[in-house]
Amino acid sequence: MNLDPKLQTDEITPELIDYIVEKIVHEIQPEKIILYGSYTRGDYHKDSDLDLLIIKDGEESSRILGRKVDSLFSGRLFALDVRVRKPSEVEWNFRAQNPFCLYHIFKGEKVLFDKQKAVISKGSF
């Protein structure tokens, strides 16, 4: 197995986040990628994981897409927590007032990629 040298670090930097987002956009073509958790709150530390919500519509299940995303970063030395959801699932969670979504993911979120705006947010968190 060839290991991606850019993933052979345990330090999550803005440059690494940019690389991860670009790789997901290229391989998965999501509608949105949202950063949440300690990296948006500013209370991350050496052992913090990178929390990403990927919103992607289509035929493939969220579980299969999650596995695809995970395989893009196999051999990494940093912790990555990826949740893949369809737009309808995100909408349902809002309507249901899911506390995890409302207070953990969408409170203080940072949109790293938005297909409708054709924007990849670079470098600062």
Q: Which of 40, 53, 44, 41 is nearest to 113 (CA)?
A: 53
Look at residue 103 and tell me whether its pLDDT is greater than 60.
Answer: no
| 118 confidence band (pLDDT: 50, 70, 90) | low
Look at residue 120 and tell me whether its pLDDT is greater than 70.
Answer: no
Domain definitions of the chain by residue range = 11-115
CA–CA separation, 18 vs 20, rounded Å? 5
Which residue, chain included where needed, has tokens 């809002």? 94
Which residues, including other chains, have CB under 8 Å from residue 56's CB and lie 6 or more apart? 28, 29, 30, 31, 62, 65, 84, 85, 86
Domain 11-115: CATH superfamily is Beta Polymerase, domain 2 (3.30.460.10)
What proportions of the chain, in percent to the nearest 5, are helix, strand and coil?
Answer: 40, 20, 40
Over residues 99-125, mean pLDDT: 71
Residue 107, helix vs strand vs coil: coil
Global pTM value: 0.85
Look at residue 75 and tell me whether its pLDDT is greater than 90.
Answer: yes
